[in-house]
A and B are shown apart, each in its own frame.
Chain A
Amino acid sequence: MKVELNVNGARASVEVEPRTTLVDCLRDNLGLTGTHTGCEHGICGACTVLLDGEPVRSCLMLAVQADGFAITTIEAVAPAPGELSIVQDAFCETHGLQCGFCTPGMILTAEALLRRIPNPTRADIVSAISANICRCTGYGQIVEAIALAAKRMAGSNVPRETAPGEPA
């Protein structure tokens, strides 16, 4: 069946089976392979995307259910090709990753957290990322990255923007 999706600020018309999950649709139909599948049963969080700015698991959602939401994937986070967002840059600064497989989900979760809570405590950060499994880092440098991003955002003189895909 045909479904109209709003992905990263653009309309996309895709032909999917009713049973196609959102993650399979993003990866297979739209070629957005930055969203990963780790468990396909809603535990690991590697498939995290933002729906109207909130993190959701795209393996637990059908593509047809995503009609009407603004979907943001990792591909829309970098402000320009080769240029990193503050959160992405903070992950590079603290080396908040190793293999990079869970990273897109972590980055989107962090972006959503910092829009909701600009000055998170360690407990806020831990709670936000606790639904995303990272097997490489033991989370230490991820927590550091998010705290660093919060600090840099607070200190930056760039006007706060809405989330990509979020209504302005």
Chain B
Amino acid sequence: MSAPANFKFVETPRRVREDRRFVAGHGRFVADLRLPGMAHVALVPSGHAAARIVEIDAAAALAMPGVHAVLTGAELAAAVDPMMNGLDTPNVRRFPLAVGQVRYNGEWVAAVAADSRAGAEDAAELVEVSYEALPFVLDAEAALKPDSVPVHPDHGSNVLLDRTFVWGEVAQHFAASQHQLAFRVTWGRNSTVPVETFGVVVAWDPWNEILDVWASIQMPKYADQIARALRLPANAVRVHYDVDVGGSYGVKRGIKHTVLAAYLARRLNRPVRLIEDRLENMRAGDAHGPDRIFDVTVAFDGDGIINSMKMRALDNVGAYAGRAPFQLGKPVGAIVGPYRIKSVEYRAVSVTTNKAAQEAVRGFGQAPTNYAIETAIDRVAAALGLERIEVRRLNFIRTDEFPYLIPSGTRYDSGDYHTVMDKVLAHVDWPALQRERQRLRAQGLLAGIGISACLEPSGGNSSFEPLLNPKNTTSTWMESCRINVDALGYVTATIHTTSSGQGHETLAATVIGEALQIDPDRIRIVRPDSLASLPGNSPVGSRMAIMLGGAAFHAAEKLKRKLIRIAAHQFGCAEADVDYIGGAIKQRGGPGQLSWIDLVTIAHRNFHLLPPDTEPGLETTHVMQVPTGQTLPTADGRVQMYPCHSFEFHVVLVAIDPDLGKPEFRRYVIGHDCGTVINPAIVKGMTLGGIAHGIGAALLEEFVYDDQGQMISQSFMDYVLPSAHEIPEVEIVHHCTPSPFTVLGQKGSGESGYLGAPAAVSGAINDALAPLGIVMSKLPIRIPELSDAIAAARASKQKETA
């Protein structure tokens, strides 16, 4: 942290500049685009979980008026390269449309392009596909068996990844510990499910040989991947970043949609639009999240100190690999959570099944892992008859131990977990909360308190790529900013990404305003297209406060240094002998004084006044490397995964009417420490939204398949997103431990809330159910399962007492 803690704009309650256009309905979303002659795409879905495609008869569809094309996987696969796999699994080939074989219910078999979406849908219904059904596998443990049906026969098995890491003296710590316990928890397949589905509009200009892409996208290296699949030079793909994205939280990766639409646009020589409808999105948008079984064993002593942990995470990745298996890698960077667990054995297993493919989901695998770790802490407390709070207090890393090296190679930057916990306990009045639980229980309700403490690793280097794929040598995940001051003295800065609600324009303007000491509202932020952009990696992994904030800050500092050099040259003094004050520069101990516009004029008009070797104009750029991202993983899989680690501590009081089985929130408090907060309203919104999303994952949301492999939660009536009724009023207790690795002390916050809420809600329900001897160990914990379990437990209790 190099900036003063006395901020002028950072940390102050300021409006989010993006909001104005949205409240007026003047956002510019991809579905709002209208290009002349644009064709609309509808998809033909597979009705089978697995089947050989025998024949596709498109004659009737093609005979419909207004239909331009019916595209099959065979035609497309002949013209494009397979989409990129994250792992080194070359025989798990993936194309936008099924080729020869379908591998999950809903998978796209053919695409129809027509003058209208309605016309394309009508024609899609007339595409006759004959199938020969094949055996399929849905369950991860079944898929793991050597005799299982392989989803990709060419790959030989369903195992995409099976790697065991041992960090530290696991065997020794287990042998020396007084106790062990083992358990299994399961994280149900849910996702972020933005209200806007994925969409893309593509136009090919054959005379300029350029592909224009407008998309609802949040994808690192999107343009590169499109170019690669389409066998185009990368500078023939122009992605427009000035498209507003209607929510993403990780999933809007859209490579298959874009390659498909782009191929059609070139073949038909007209713009093509593919906007998923809700059914296409839920069933085959390839945007499901982790679907994971954790087997955990912990070794601990009688006083509650946890010495070592063994964790096997088995992830059901679905039918194709993509980037999703990396979601087993990110948690390596916070595998011990906020605890001083001395050694860890971690086995990460990723298997294919005949379910839809996964995509990156908020936290990139960290939320499920946190649920497993926090369950372990609760179970240790229960086993020893200790308070859950006390076990956490005992095992937390102490604030004087930072930077703290965890067994898997990451050095946590900073934190003060004990203080955050104590602030939250004081805020809720912990004894009073326990009395309230007792009062509710006395009323005949089941009442429980849930606690979770976890980390949000942020701003990373994508080090899970080289960790899990030896052919991948990624060691940077840069972000950039350019600042230009025009001849009239106005400041314009560039950011090089789309945004999906994170407020990046506000972020960049606030940081630049802080550094240059000028009002952020006077700074214009623009988004060049991908061909005019500097290197960047899109807003993933809670990185933009750190990386875009850092790039903007450094670019502004470079600009300031140039102004100082110009001024010192005029004054004939050393650069060290001037002061930059609010855009003007004064000579220290001398008469020299130049205003902002004086300096701008010299830079823009008076080359004869510039110091030697100075470029005219006032423009600076900065391409920022990840702080702490210096090396590749070691052979035993140790790596600095993320530079910054935000902390959150949840306390939840839940009451359940035993006859209804519906959990009701009576209190929800979160303590949150993400270092320096650049815009308080944005961070608050992220945290509250993350908690709501986490409550959905804990209680409501799951993509469910029946035993025939049909997805049965494909509408918002079956896949239930939390409404305002389900989400309680949340109280936030703020704390700030600045990161020593970032320009303003900031850390990430885009995943906050979601990372700890599922564990806290699960803990509260299990605390409520403890008197009945019930343990719920699978998320989501839905009302019917809960009420059935309660009814069964009460019936057997009655039997016992009768």
Contact = CB atoms under 8 A, between A and B. Distances in A.
Interface in B475-508: 500-503
A116 interface: no
Contacts of A19: 118
B723 interface: yes
B77 interface: no
A154 interface: no
A56 B632 CA distance: 55
B430 to A, nearest CB: 23
Interface in A88-131: 88-89, 91-95, 97-104, 107, 122, 125-127, 129-131
Contact of A101 (B118, B195, B686): B195
Nearest to A98: B501
Interface centre among B18, B25, B682, B686 (most CB of A within 10 A): B25
A98 B502 contact: yes
A93 B259 CA distance: 41
B684 A84 contact: no
B724 A139 contact: yes
A156 to B, nearest CB: 18
B28 to A, nearest CB: 8
A39 to B, nearest CB: 5
Given A100-B27, A133-B716, A95 B118 contact: no
A25 interface: no
Nearest to B694: A138
Contacts of A132: 723-724
Contacts of A129: 724
A43 interface: yes
A44 B725 contact: no
A interface secondary structure, majority:
loop
Interface in B1-47: 15-16, 18-27, 29, 31-32, 34
Interface centre among A39, A89, A138 (most CB of B within 10 A): A138
Contacts of B194: 99, 101, 135
Given A40-B278, A95-B684, A102-B195, A138 B716 contact: no
A36 interface: yes
A46 B197 CA distance: 12
A99 B247 contact: yes
B689 A98 contact: yes
Given A95-B682, A98-B502, A43 B716 contact: yes
Interface in B387-429: none
A35 interface: yes
Interface string B190-204: 001111110000000
How many of chain B's residues touch chain A, expressed as a range?
A: 35 or more
B786 interface: no
Contact of B724 (A43, A135, A143): A143
B684 to A, nearest CB: 7
Given A33-B32, A75-B25, A140-B730, A99 B244 contact: yes
Contacts of A103: 22-23, 25, 27
B716 A92 contact: no
Interface residues of A, number: 58
B120 to A, nearest CB: 14
Contacts of B721: 44, 133, 135
Contacts of A88: 23-24
A140 B277 CA distance: 28
Contacts of B278: 38-41
A122 B727 CA distance: 13
B753 A138 contact: yes
Contacts of A84: 20, 23-24
B222 interface: no
Contacts of A35: 25
Contacts of B716: 39, 41, 43-44, 133
A73 interface: yes
Contacts of A92: 15-16, 19-20, 23
Interface string B727-756: 101100000000000000000000001000
B405 to A, nearest CB: 35
Nearest to A125: B724
A135 B700 CA distance: 14
A9 to B, nearest CB: 16
Contacts of B730: 138, 140
Interface string B685-715: 1101111110000000000000000000001
A140 B196 contact: no
A91 B32 contact: no
Nearest to A140: B688
B540 to A, nearest CB: 16
A99 B31 contact: no
11 contacts: A34-B24, A36-B195, A40-B277, A92-B15, A95-B19, A101-B195, A103-B22, A104-B25, A133-B723, A135-B195, A143-B729
Given A27-B31, A39-B715, A135-B689, 16 more contacts: A41-B278, A41-B715, A46-B196, A89-B23, A98-B501, A100-B21, A100-B246, A100-B501, A101-B246, A107-B23, A126-B724, A130-B725, A134-B689, A140-B727, A141-B684, A142-B724
Interface of B: 15-16, 18-27, 29, 31-32, 34, 118, 192-197, 244-249, 277-278, 500-503, 681-682, 684-686, 688-693, 715-717, 721, 723-725, 727, 729-730, 753
Interface of A: 17, 19-20, 27, 31, 33-41, 43-44, 46, 73-75, 77-78, 84, 88-89, 91-95, 97-104, 107, 122, 125-127, 129-143
